[in-house]
Structure 1
């Protein structure tokens, strides 16, 4: 299935919470949603509290539908205390590549 909607987010964890943020994201429910076709978590080599997420969804509607659920809203609420400030988002639609794992 191809992604037609996506983004790349840069998140900064609270100092010393980068590992916790990565673990939290790697257990996110979107990993188990069929409309989420790409969910990649990475981190800065120079700053372990800087975490990157690339998501690809089948459509913008599917992404919006998922994030309107109670499950997703609870996820966002639990995520916020791990973050130091606002996350930066860039428009990105994954188109292909090589699986990392």
Structure 2
């Protein structure tokens, strides 16, 4: 439903792979922690010491990945092939005009 509504409103609809490591990647310096259990809601980056709310950090990373996909015209992940799996994607709606 989101896709057709975006098209109807002249927006750009972009899907980001659901296994993109959005929660455990620092949106400031791009450092990625090895493990981040779901019960940890806040974490501090070991590299730049930025304190992150898990959900806000993930939303910033998903937005940035969607913009990267749009700018490069590719769905390859920024981190490389090891994080991609076949299957589901995360949807992200951008307030952009249709090309």
TM-score, structure 2 normalization: 0.29
The structure with the larger Rg is 2
